[in-house]
Homo-oligomer: A and B are copies of this chain.
Amino acid sequence: MPSPIRREITGFSNPTVKYLRSLRDKKHRKREAVFLAEGLRLLTDARECGHVPQMLVMATGRDPHPLIGALETAVAEAGGEVIVTSPDILSKITGKDNPQSVAGVFSEFDTSLASLDRGASKIWLVAQALRDPGNLGTMLRTGDAVGAGGLILIDDCADPFSVEAVRASMGAVFTQKIARANWDEFLPWLRGGNGQLVAASLRDAVPYRGAPYAAPCFVMVGNESQGLPETYEMACDLRVTMPMRGRADSLNAAVAAAVLAYEVLDGLEGERPLRT
């Protein structure tokens, strides 16, 4: 087993620090095809899912932890680099006041539709033009919880590899497949195989509760302010509506996706106890 070689960085102006900080910017992430994730639990989840960072950044002055040791070993075995730096510099890298003890630089995944195996899961989440990275991360987290296969990003969405999205995903960025496509690519791909496309809608919709969901079920939500374009809604196999008892006519996008996805999960699992 190769012994981890640590490189220590003490200066804010170090080129590696500049490189790491630049990864908070989408343009730089895209150019380098990497992204930044932080936190011992998240990096451990990643490792257990087979994702080892190219570069591991650890803060000095913390107690040793066996999980950090395991990460270091994995990175060294994979030929990656281990950086040790001050908590202040780590904080500057992640942009968080109370930084986690570790961060890692990961290679971006293949986000082509072709990389998805639609038969692998009963549920897939689809986000159209979602602009809030927190919402995307939350959808990834929900997808993990309902056993979805992944999240498909349609049209111009926020970056799922942004620090905010990765943070909100609570590690689900490593367990969920992520694909990106325009609507004109997505629809033919969907129709090239099995798949029921479902959206929350007010147009000739049936109650979401107990609707005839079928696997693989693609649960789609639209942009935070505009919702889904009408043509997209009309291309759905099933339009469902959720009760709206108040003044508002819509839910937060990530909330709508979750309420719907849990209903789909229940519907697809068939039997459920009768209410007494």
Contacts and interface: CB of A to CB of B under 8 A. Distances in A.
Interface of A: 45, 48-49, 134, 138, 141-147, 168, 170-172, 175, 207, 209-210, 212, 242-248, 250-252, 254-255, 258-259, 262, 265-267, 272-276
A209 B141 contact: no
B210 A142 contact: no
B259 A144 contact: no
A256 B138 CA distance: 11
A142 B242 CA distance: 12
B246 A175 contact: yes
A251 B146 CA distance: 10
Contact of A259 (B48, B171, B209, B259): B259
**Copies of this subunit:** 2
Contacts of A243: 145-147, 262, 265
Contacts of A255: 138, 141-142, 254-255, 258
A247 B171 contact: yes
A146 B255 CA distance: 12
Nearest to A147: B245
22 contacts: A45-B247, A138-B252, A141-B248, A142-B251, A142-B255, A145-B243, A145-B246, A145-B251, A146-B245, A147-B243, A147-B245, A170-B250, A172-B247, A207-B273, A210-B272, A210-B274, A210-B275, A243-B262, A255-B255, A255-B258, A259-B262, A267-B275
Nearest to A271: B275
A258 B144 CA distance: 17
